[in-house]
A and B are shown apart, each in its own frame.
Chain A
Amino acid sequence: MKKTLYILTVSLLILTANSCGEPVDFRNGLESEKIVIESVLSPNAQINFAKLSTSVVVNAQVQNLGYPIDAMVMIRELNSQEEFELSFDDNKCYSYDGASIEEGKTYEFSASLADSDVLDVFATTKIPLATTINNVEQIAIDTIYNPDDNTKYGLRFECAVTINDPVSYPAHYRLIPMLKDFGLDSNGKLFLRSEAIYYFDDFDFIFGGNACHDLSHRNGLLVNQSKLDGNRIVLSFETRNTLVLGEDRVPKIFFALQTVEEDFYHYFLSSSKLIDAQNSGSSQVISSFSNVTNGHGVFTSYSETIDSLLIN
């Protein structure tokens, strides 16, 4: 009797404190595997890539997140009908070297898997016209010290980037501050030592508010023009790269302003949130963006201009 009383009166606490999940399936039978693509075109890129995978249906008996290597992947310019086929390469992507991609033109993407029930996918993109940077100025530069031994650890820069009015609205950008491997010769002149590029991280937006979003995993930030006040972004970022710490530190920061499609903005913003939320049990639902017919992912594009800032 005593044990029974225990069970009766503890039942509430058991259930509230130890609620166990029960497998449940809400599918309606129409769900299926799909091709997932991530492909970004740019006139500024020598090689254009497309990453392919397949999705899985949750609760299905057989689930294989696949990375097909024998898909037929085509990109075609809609006006001229010029097309080129991407091939699977050593980097585990589908790529094409030397395609002529031009601003203002529209391209169509298609991918299909042979001997598969997975539907063929299609998507289009129009290469945006590039917006230029009006001005870049340095506001502050701070040294970061290692808390353990008080040695120089890195530098934190605060800069203001002013963008010119876009060619068309709405406008979205990816802004990437970066360092190139410059050195100073014996005459004190700059020279490019290698093709290496180094990126910054730990972005913070002093002015630009919710117009800007950290896209650290893609080395830059996303910007929504419509939320900017006066086309000006004030941001800070840091690096611990030795290029900025040594005696021959590089006196230049380059800013790549990529004018991106709105689809680019939405896709990479949601992807960034999904990556950040991987292991978080308390994150809010992130709606998945896709512009791919019959599939998931994105086929999009950007155009780029670059400006630089001499550091004081």
Chain B
Amino acid sequence: MLAILLSSFWAVGQDMIPDEVRVDYSVIKKDLNTVIVELSEVSNVNITFNPNDLPKNKVISLSTKNKPLGVILNAILKGSDATYKIVGNQLVIVPDEFVTAKEIITISGYLRDSLSGEPLIYANIYNHEKAEGTNTNEYGFYSFSINKGVQRVYYSYLGYSKQILELKLKRDTTINVDLSPDAVLNEVLILDRQVDAQETQLYSADVLPVDKIWSISSLAGESDVLGLAHMMSGVSSGADGLGGLNVRGGSFDQNLILYDGVPVYNTSHALGMFSIFNPNTIKSAKLIKGSFPARYGGRLSSVFDVRTKDGSTKKLKGDVSLGAIAFRGSLEGPLGKNGSSFIVSYRRTHLDLWLLDGFTSLVNSDNSTQRQSDYSFYDLNGKLNFQLGKRNKLNISYYQGSDDLSNEIVRTLTALPLMPVETNQINSDWGNNILSVRLNSELSQKLYHNLTLYRSSFDLNNFDLQQFDMTLGTGMTRTYDSNLFQSSVRDLGLKSDFDFVPNTKNYFKFGFGAVNHTFSPGLITLDQNSDLIQGDISKDTLMDILNVQDLVGTEVYVYGEDEIRFSDKVKANVGLRYNLVKTDSNYDHSIEPRLSLLVEGNSSFFRVGLSRMSQFLHLLSNGGFGLPSDVWIPSTDRIKPEKSWVFNAGFGFELSENFDFEIEGYYKKLDRVISFSEGVLSPIDANFNWQDDLPIGTGTAYGLEFNIHKAYGKSNIFANYTWSRSTRQFEDINFGDEYLFRFDRTHQFKFTLIQKLNKNAEFTSNLQVASGSPVSIPFEVRTIFDGEGNPVPVPVFEGRNLQNFPLYHRLDIGFNFYNDYGWAKQKFSVGLYNAYAWKNPYYIELGINENTPQNFQTYQFTILPLALPYISYSLSF
């Protein structure tokens, strides 16, 4: 590595850099010396020069408005052997040492956090002279082609002080840069918008403001990266705002959720109230909703790419936190002095540890009802990073998390004849387990490689039982309905990805991968008419009966994409992905073109994209409101991979100095989507031809999103409105008529405010207003006759999802208080979730009116009918 000559460097501050002063200047046919003197007067910047260094016969004519002084000087000095450099707050014209033909060289390296050594991903690198830039990749590495000579390069990242390096470059050079975090959370941030503006995304993507994750609290005061995603336009959650991630009319399984590049199948804890992503470990998160680059594939609707920290390479650090629901802690630090590190974090609920007995006695106050409940979840994250020489890094990452829920209510129905005993029981456990080994290698200044070997698994068992016991003269009569959902997925995968940056115009990404999937789906539904169970019904008895079959499938893919910079205003990404899938005895392949185009104006942009996507696996969802009753299945000979075409177009502009406005439309066509059939759930069991029962259909989604964003100053505002429709159509459902998808929300309005009150306090609020979700409500009950001619009362559904729940709305407010003790930083949060206690319905059920049992009544269930206060405390050291 050649030593770099740094002639000067500036940090972000209040002073204007001398050559960035903007001037209006016009001149006709004057000599160069005179022009330079006049420019100095007009700009109030001292420009020093030796007239002998300048060509004597050069005559200048130009007219310019509001142009930076440096740009004007470069223009008038072009063709001479002179250039300028910055000395203090003045400019000095000097002979150009690098006047021989401009050659292109490459600078590359890593951007890191100066305090922790953590690589900064998607950070900005910008060359002032050529007005060109690039970003660090997912591992903090960048490669940038630049002219030889004296070049000014800006390194910036949101939440960090910008670094401006004036470099004298003679050959390919490695430049690693450390950026300092912007003071502490409790300082007011005033950022220079002009230079610090985030590069406009070529893709229809939201780079989630993870620096705000600690400001915005979700349920029970827990910060959650999925909560950030729910703030974005085009994203809806499950019912009652809990869990789920439905992006632009897609279902949950159509999201490619990546945990450090490894696909994850389930992201929910606590029925969808929190995600599996421990906020202590999050480094970045990006949600791509359209214009998908070819490196991503395997899902139809979105990519949620979450990257976690590698651990501090500088010193030992940690934090602990206690909230209303869970406690968590993390510890990170260096392993030796060569840049290796570790990080480990743990999070767990604590309610079950000390509260359960008290809770049971508190609520069992009615002799006719007995309740027993238990719930716990935990996450364990661990990472080891080893620096292997200067060019290689080995990373071993592990995640394990699980939920355990049980709830039993036994109630004597005293209002009914014979006082039957009703038992409702739920017994669920689910969790993910991920292990990955990753090797990152700088193969050259221009070529970067990532090789990942991973194992990702998800297991779910969900048992529920409704049972009525009635004692008659002849003995006890029992009626019951019980279900067992079982879903297990095991992936073993290999990925090889290359980044190749040959010049400033092209950024190539290409690679290949293979995944072996093993699915073990199971579903069994039994009632009193089954003779399979003798005696009591339990999860274990159903598990003994269920005959689960392993279904294996293999996916292989190869892709290539090029991000082409036609000019500083026009960029495109052109890519192609090829997927080959092996099912039982067939092959299915998919050729997926990916195109996106970005055209930028001075303070506006236009973007358009088209993507072909395919998806090997499917999720059969029963209700899908964040409850763990979904079953993952692979594609088979009959159930082919799903496919989609996604088109999006949008434009944006600066509304004012600090406000950005964006509007985007999208259209999505889905093929081969599947669903449970109408009626009783078909068993998924090796003894049944369950695949034949699954309807296969199509889906359509389209919409318009409006976004306003203010990210500078004391107030951060995220506001958006989405108008959208999402439908499904199956020949065997709803008599073949198209119907609204259950996560359709015609109107959605979201408003999030983070307001700095003073140096140590901030106020946050989050308002969500949305059309009620579609629902099927029976307004009538009629009689049909069974084979023996006996009348059976049944609900009348005139169609599927013809009605809507009432308007959904919820307001969350909170206050965060910060203190810095020097040796540690403290944060104390207090707030209200669902501040005005609005009862948003979760689902509707038809039942019997307990007071008049001959009457039918609809009942509405709400998960969160109260305003939920929260308190949490965290300490970072």
A→B interface (CB under 8 Å): 6, 8-27, 31, 33-34, 36, 38, 51, 53, 55-61, 63-65, 67, 91, 205, 209-210, 216-219, 266, 270-271, 273-289, 296-297
B792 to A58, Cβ gap below 8 A? no
Decide yes or no: A21 and B483 within 8 Å by CB, A53-B783, A284-B681 being known contacts. Answer: no
Asked if B558 is an interface residue, CB under 8 A from chain A, the answer is no
Neighbour of B779 across the interface among A58, A280, A283, A287, CB < 8 A = A58
Neighbour of B781 across the interface among A65, A271, A275, CB < 8 A = A65
A21 to B786, Cβ gap below 8 A? no
B351 to A9, Cβ gap below 8 A? yes
Task: Name the B residues within 8 Å of A18 (CB-CB).
Answer: 363, 371, 373, 407, 409
Task: Name the B residues within 8 Å of A61 (CB-CB).
Answer: 855
Neighbour of B786 across the interface among A12, A15, A217, A297, CB < 8 A = A217
Closest chain B residue, CB of each to CB of A297: B782
Closest chain B residue, CB of each to CB of A25: B858
A218 to B787, Cβ gap below 8 A? yes
Separation of A55 and B784 alpha carbons in the complex (Å)? 10
Asked if B862 is an interface residue, CB under 8 A from chain A, the answer is yes
Other A-B pairs beyond A58-B846, A270-B678, A288-B796, 5, CB < 8 Å? A33-B780, A276-B679, A279-B528, A282-B622, A289-B735
Decide yes or no: A286 and B679 within 8 Å by CB, A6-B359, A21-B860, A26-B803 being known contacts. Answer: yes
28 contacts between A and B (CB under 8 A): A14-B363, A18-B363, A21-B845, A22-B859, A25-B858, A26-B779, A26-B844, A36-B782, A56-B856, A57-B780, A58-B778, A58-B795, A58-B858, A63-B855, A64-B854, A219-B787, A273-B678, A273-B680, A275-B792, A276-B680, A277-B680, A281-B466, A282-B481, A283-B681, A284-B675, A287-B678, A287-B733, A287-B797
Asked if B472 is an interface residue, CB under 8 A from chain A, the answer is no
Asked if B173 is an interface residue, CB under 8 A from chain A, the answer is no
Neighbour of B842 across the interface among A19, A63, A205, A270, CB < 8 A = A19
Instruction: List the 8 shortest-distance A-B pairs measured between CB atoms, nearest first.
Output: A21-B859, A273-B679, A217-B787, A24-B860, A55-B782, A17-B373, A53-B783, A209-B692
Neighbour of B525 across the interface among A8, A16, A33, A282, CB < 8 A = A282
Comparing B6-14, B394-402, B663-671, B864-872, the segment that makes contact with chain A is B864-872
Separation of A27 and B780 alpha carbons in the complex (Å)? 10
A209 to B689, Cβ gap below 8 A? yes
A58 to B781, Cβ gap below 8 A? yes
Asked if B734 is an interface residue, CB under 8 A from chain A, the answer is yes
How many whole Å from B374's CB to the nearest CB in chain A? 9
Separation of A219 and B799 alpha carbons in the complex (Å)? 28
Asked if B713 is an interface residue, CB under 8 A from chain A, the answer is no
B862 to A16, Cβ gap below 8 A? no
A271 to B784, Cβ gap below 8 A? yes
Closest chain A residue, CB of each to CB of B325: A12
Separation of A297 and B798 alpha carbons in the complex (Å)? 12
B622 to A274, Cβ gap below 8 A? no
Separation of A14 and B861 alpha carbons in the complex (Å)? 13
B792 to A22, Cβ gap below 8 A? no
Kindly name the residue among A8, A17, A63, A288 whose own CB sees the greatest number of chain B CB atoms within 10 A.
A17
B868 to A19, Cβ gap below 8 A? no
**How many B residues are at the interface, by size bracket?**
35 or more
Can you list, as one digit per residue, whether each of B359-400 has a CB less than 8 Å from chain A (1) or not (0)?
100110000000101010000000000000000000000000
Task: Name the B residues within 8 Å of A58 (CB-CB).
Answer: 778-781, 795, 846, 856-858
Task: Name the A residues within 8 Å of B796 (CB-CB).
Answer: 55, 288, 296
Task: Name the A residues within 8 Å of B134 (CB-CB).
Answer: none
Separation of A209 and B639 alpha carbons in the complex (Å)? 13
How many whole Å from A267's CB to the nearest CB in chain B? 9
Asked if B821 is an interface residue, CB under 8 A from chain A, the answer is no
How many whole Å from B790's CB to the nearest CB in chain A? 10
Residues of chain B in range 641-671 having any CB-CB distance to chain A below 8 Å: none
Separation of A27 and B677 alpha carbons in the complex (Å)? 27
Residues of chain B in range 760-794 having any CB-CB distance to chain A below 8 Å: 776-787, 789, 791-794
Kindly name the residue among A15, A21, A31 whose own CB sees the greatest number of chain B CB atoms within 10 A.
A21
Can you list, as one digit per residue, whether each of B669-692 has a CB less than 8 Å from chain A (1) or not (0)?
000000111111100000001001
Separation of A221 and B784 alpha carbons in the complex (Å)? 18
A15 to B865, Cβ gap below 8 A? yes
Closest chain B residue, CB of each to CB of A289: B735
Kindly name the residue among B783, B793, B799, B862 whose own CB sees the greatest number of chain A CB atoms within 10 A.
B783
Asked if B732 is an interface residue, CB under 8 A from chain A, the answer is yes
A57 to B779, Cβ gap below 8 A? yes
How many whole Å from A85's CB to the nearest CB in chain B? 22
Task: Name the A residues within 8 Å of B803 (CB-CB).
Answer: 26
Task: Name the B residues within 8 Å of A286 (CB-CB).
Answer: 678-679, 797
Task: Name the A residues within 8 Å of B527 (CB-CB).
Answer: 279-280
A13 to B782, Cβ gap below 8 A? no
Decide yes or no: A21 and B861 within 8 Å by CB, A6-B359, A278-B792 being known contacts. Answer: yes
Task: Name the B residues within 8 Å of A26 (CB-CB).
Answer: 777, 779, 803, 844, 858
A63 to B854, Cβ gap below 8 A? yes
A279 to B785, Cβ gap below 8 A? no
